[in-house]
Each structure stands twice: as structure tokens, then as C-alpha cells.
Amino acid sequence: MDARYRIRRATAADAAALAEIEHVCFSDPWSMVGIIETIQYATVYALVAENGESVAGYIMARISGEEGEILNLAVMPGHRRRGVARALLEAGLSAITLAGVREAYLEVRESNRAAVNLYQAFGFGPVGLRPNYYRNPLEDALVLRAALSVQETGT
């Protein structure tokens, strides 16, 4: 990701920007009300990638003890293929690992090669299938899992 982007925690003030990203990136988007509610849970980690004043993408993860779930990850079309999603996923997984998560799960449309490629690069592999999980269009979800571990720093 180039230096014009920076990653920070999302707040309720970002909800409109996240709703816009949802609207542009997904055929079955989260509502702004749902985003505001979810962002405020203590067990939810939401990060945004910003470029100047505009929010280019975001990731949201939920933790439950040693288990974590990536709830959503999206990057606006004009900011894609610049490593923004990779940086968001790296930062999101680091944050939940530091919070004690040791395995992460997520669902992804079976046909979503871009996302599946990205997740595979982070060690996610298939552990299940949820038939007809998505709407608009109806599609199965792949369930992916990755083991997470704290990196030794040597210090």
C-alpha cells in the first residue's frame, strides 16, 4: 500500500462513508444503522484505510474469546489493486491476534476470486460451505479458516 494511505480505527463518525462503500461494493449491502450498531460493540474491531479525506476501504472483525470472524472487507473500485485490502487485512488480523484470537473465520462468495486469492495469501483455507447463503444473486458461501499466532519480535 502506498504512503498516501493510512489505517486507523473506525468510529461511528465513519458510518456514512462505510455505508457508501457497502452500497458501491456489495449487491446486498449493510445498512447504515447496522453499521453504526456493529461498530460500537466492544468486541468489534473496525479499521478504515484513508487517502487524504476520503475513506478508501474498511475491514470489520468480531472477536469471541480465541475465535475471530472477519465480518466484512471492501475497497472502493478507484482504490483497488494498490494493496489497500492486503494492508487492512494485515492490520485487522494483527489487532485481533493481539486481543487473543487464535483462529479466524470468514464467509466469502464462492465466485469471488479476488477475495479468495487475498485470503489464501494470509493462510485461510476452506473448512465448509453454506448453501445459498448470499442473496442478489443467490450463491453458496465458502467458509474459510486461518490459524493465527503472535509473531516473535526477538526483543
Three cell numbers, residue 11: 468510529
How many residues at the interface with ligand COA, by CB under 6 A? 19
Among 75, 91, 96, 101, binds ligand COA (CB under 6 A): 75
Position 39 contacts ligand COA (CB under 6 A): no
Is 36 in contact with 79 (CB distance < 8 Å)?
no
Q: How near is the Cβ of 113 to ligand COA at its closest, in Å?
A: 5
Among 10, 15, 108, 146, binds ligand COA (CB under 6 A): 108
Give, as ranges, the residues between 116 and 155 that touch ligand COA (CB under 6 A).
Answer: 117-118, 121
Q: Does 91 bind ligand COA (CB under 6 A)?
A: no
Q: How far apart are the first and last CA of the chain?
A: 27
In the structure grid, which three cell numbers stand for residue 72, read together? 466484512
Whether the Cβ atoms of residue 99 and residue 45 lie closer than 8 Å to each other:
yes
**Region of 31-39, 68-76, 132-140, 146-154 interacting with ligand COA (CB under 6 A):** 68-76
Q: Which residues form the interface with ligand COA (CB under 6 A)?
A: 25, 73-75, 80-86, 108, 112-115, 117-118, 121
